[in-house]
Amino acid sequence: MHEFKFEPVQMPAAVEDLRKEVRAFIAEEVARGGFTPKRNSWSSFDADFSRRCGERGFIGMTWPKQYGGQERTALERYVMTEEMLAGGAPVGAHWVADRQSGHQILRYGSERARREILPKITSGQCFFSIGMSEPDSGSDLAAVRTRATQVDGGWKISGTKVWTSSAHRAHYMIALVRTAPKEEERHAGLTQFIIDLSQPGISVRPIYNLYGGHDFNEVVFDEYFVPNDMVMGEVGSGWKMVTGELAFERSGPDRFLSTYQLLAESMRVIGPEPDDRAANEIGRFVAHLATLRRMSTSIAGMLTRGEQPIVEAALVKDIGTTFEREIPEVFRHLIPTEPTLGDGDSYAELLGMTVLRAPGFTIRGGTREILRGMIARGLGLR
């Protein structure tokens, strides 16, 4: 049985200095009109803001200096990300590259991939998308059917990826692809590839979401050529890599702060003298937030030590996304408001946008049912 351990981490003093630095950066940005705090911080794409984050050393902070990183700790990166999210900064353009793709390249990419791509990521000029889901395989990721066949100097890929966030504005994708026919061991024969989205052989078509926005896409590969040095790690060992990548994807503060703006704004609307019901709900949310933060920082510590806390990350994502989905449900009853659609600053619009985005929180990055299945297996229950 998996033993869940969420050991507390002590935030070193340097981390608190960095927190002040990031807060000052955000305040400066807001004051000079660099950005207006966004409700969907890590889903808001702003290439200019990403470039300014790169200039300040806020992207790829833990990576080696030789690839443009800062060689800072995972806890320092953690504090930077939570300040960006709490401040409503539009970090969406570089989010995926910073959170997971860059780590994958550092760990499994060829030397050419590291040298060419990582410095562009850290300077805030290169953005990534995630090519995991397919029309017939989302939860059951090992069932991917997009295929690569070996050709002279590399591989040719054909197939379809779906729900690919930001593929229409990213430069690259890391795609999970079948390189050998499915065998009894269903996790064998999969490989991750770095896909340059500017090359021929790919078409990207929009899929509009619940509130009519264009965040994700269908991506079709037609004999798309990838050179050998854009293959990640050993051919056929993609399953281990993709599950390790998901530990980065599932455990950070982005998995419980998606509706933080609504929580803060609701507390402001309710004011300093909440009635008993409002006080109970606010107290409960703040206590859950503190616990989630402790679990999530503990995972940041495990990732620093090179561990793969896959089940712990599933637990944080399940509890965290349930938390962020509950916030609009509770406050729409506490503050009777008719949600409306629009980009303005009103509480009704903030509520409207949050209500329409919320169903996706428990789907993206792995659904609740899948995560709970993993946790149950971890507990020895199945």
Residue nearest to ligand FAD (CB): 138
The string of DSSP codes covering 111-175 is HHHHHHHHHHHHTT---EEEE--BTTBSS-GGG---EEEEETTEEEEEEEEES-TTTTT-SEEEE
Q: Which is nearer to ligand FAD, 132 or 355 (CB)?
A: 132
Q: Is the C-alpha dihedral spanning 75, 76, 81, 82 positive or negative?
A: positive
E strand residue ranges, the chain: 128-131, 147-151, 154-162, 172-178, 190-196, 202-208, 214-227, 231-232
Q: Which is nearer to ligand FAD, 278 or 375 (CB)?
A: 375
Which amino acid is residue 137, in one-letter code? S
Among 139, 150, 199, 346, binds ligand FAD (CB under 6 A): 139
* Using rule CB under 6 A, residue 189 touches ligand FAD: no
Question: Token pair for residue 103?
Answer: 């780590």
Strand partners, 219: 161, 204
Least distance between ligand FAD and beta carbon 242 (Å): 10
Q: Which is nearer to ligand FAD, 295 or 358 (CB)?
A: 358
Q: Which is nearer to ligand FAD, 100 or 237 (CB)?
A: 100
- Between residue 164 and residue 183, which ones bind ligand FAD under the rule CB under 6 A? 164-165
Per-residue burial over 304-313, b = 16 or more CB atoms within 10 Å of its CB, e = otherwise: eeeebbbbbb
Number of residues in contact with ligand FAD under rule CB under 6 A = 20
Least distance between ligand FAD and beta carbon 366 (Å): 6
Least distance between ligand FAD and beta carbon 133 (Å): 4
Q: Which stretch binds ligand FAD (CB under 6 A): 104-112, 126-134, 222-230, 248-256?
A: 126-134
Question: Token pair for residue 195?
Answer: 């896909």
**DSSP assignment letter at 36:** P
Among 58, 78, 155, 163, binds ligand FAD (CB under 6 A): 163
Among 70, 160, 304, 367, binds ligand FAD (CB under 6 A): 367
Instruction: Give me the helix-helix angle, 276-304 and 238-250, nearest 10°.
Output: 140
Among 34, 37, 57, 138, binds ligand FAD (CB under 6 A): 138
Least distance between ligand FAD and beta carbon 168 (Å): 12
Q: Where do contacts with ligand FAD occur on this chain (CB under 6 A)?
A: 129-133, 138-139, 163-165, 216, 360, 363-367, 369-370, 373
